[in-house]
Amino acid sequence: MALNSPFLTLTIVALYITTLSLLPSSTSTRTSPSSSQTPSQFSTTLLNISSSLHQTHQVRTFNPQTLESFHQQEIQHTPTSSSPSFFSVQLHPRDSLHNANHQDYKTLVLARLARDSARVNSLTTKLQLALNDVKKSDLHPTQTDLLRPEDLSTPVSSGTGQGSGEYFSRVGVGRPAKPLYMVLDTGSDVNWIQCKPCSDCYQQSDPIFDPTTSSSFYPLTCDAQQCQALETSACRNGKCLYQVSYGDGSFTVGEYVTETVSFGDSGSVNRVAIGCGHDNEGLFVGAAGLLGLGGGALSLTSQIKASSFSYCLVDRDSGKSSTLEFNSPRPGDSVTATLLKNQKLDTFYYVELTGVSVGGDMVSVPPETFAVGSSGSGGIIVDSGTAITRLRTQAYNSVRDAFRSLTQNLRSAESVALFDTCYDLSSLQSVRVPTVSFHFSGGNTWNLPAKNYLIPVDSAGTFCFAFAPSSSELSIIGNVQQQGTRVSFDMANSLVGFSPNKC
């Protein structure tokens, strides 16, 4: 993103940290360091403060109407001969499509964090139900006044809230294909869209899908395999009904059907099981529905028999877009992590994380901190819909304390929401900060850019350390840490790859 403000033509200062103690104010000069000066023994990364603050102003004024149309935005790729059914679609940050006109950037951040906390609670609830062996037969219909007797169905509550993602993909549904913006969610399996007629539908960017206009719309019967695979379902007049409830109170209820799903001009897949929601409420405003990219049998990835998929998440404050790709080769420079299975829950993508380092030094945490326990508890997952990385409390405290000890030269600021480590960087154009890195088995290391863990929470120069303690034993690598990195899920080889600067 271009920086056009006149003052940005001034020399940008790189502030090098030279001791572990508070630097004297005389060392915080506004001139470039001489060539004889070198960073200290620990590794540092440059945070471009001016660029980050520039985007805090841009995101609230971005006009979603400037996005290219469905057909204009198609990116053509030539799959290799060994690539089965290569598909590619555009991927957009939520706020570039749904501009809520927040009064300032801080209220936008607080709204994001509130959604994020609800999602994390819902993911941990889903795991807890699996660990406690709660089955579909144990679930009961919810008593609710939201639907009248003449409405399509009676909602069924699973309690397995999964939350909503923060990025939208553009896919086609039906025949002929109707282009729809849908939430990208690696923490969910069930795909769904809003459908006419609506008992209650929230506002979305595209026209609500009308099943009567599609020649490939096919309701599933109650004894269909896909219907039986739902965690919660009901039956009316021989047709399968579904409900998915989310941790923030959002839900979708309707018919469970099969439809054709199209990926721009790169191809389509017939008979994909998808929810046709007639009563949908919650925080999905802007999107037409949700693409479940989890590891379960009903996810889009499983249904189209994808051997791999990848995405690259652009900065959430950016109007730019990237791609979601299926069956594309993993970039050769990927830092890979072993993909683990949890026998209790097949939705989540667990990785084998061996440790975290700050400033080049490994943080002391017990070896089992990020391991999946024999009971299915614990572990760390890669999730597209959670924003802020959560670490088990003991590990978070150690990582945070290590970061604080190496940033004593920075002016501290008050805590903001779930962030307990914040800084006032308003007087700086850029600053060098300790590098935070994830370490995987085999000696593989993923070094995070500074902007992926020091993020602005207002437009005045307050930045916070974008990690938080987990409310359970489950840890999550969130999408703020994934920004600007192509994340490749190679199910065939049980690997997850992280390749920076591949958007």
Give catalytic residues, as residue numbers: 185, 383
Joined together, the tokens standing for residue 488 give: 């490749």
Pairing of strands 268-281, 251-262: antiparallel
| Rg of the chain over all Cα atoms, to the nearest angstrom | 23
Among residues 379, 407, 402, the alpha carbon closest in space to that of 470 is found at 379
Joined together, the tokens standing for residue 497 give: 């790859």
Sequence-separated (6 or more) residues with CB below 8 Å from residue 348: 123, 127, 187, 294, 295, 342, 379, 381, 383
CB atoms within 10 A of CB 63: 9
Distance CA 407, CA 450 (A): 13
Taking CB atoms within 8 Å and a gap of at least 24, the contacts of 268-272 are 268/172, 268/177, 269/85, 269/303, 269/304, 270/216, 271/218, 272/191, 272/300, 272/303, 272/304
Joined together, the tokens standing for residue 190 give: 């069930």
Taking CB atoms within 8 Å and a gap of at least 24, the contacts of 4-12 are 5/54, 8/50, 8/54, 10/429, 12/48, 12/50, 12/429, 12/430
Q: Is 363 helix (H, G, I), strand (E, B) or coil?
A: coil
CB-based contact 123:208 (threshold 8 Å): no
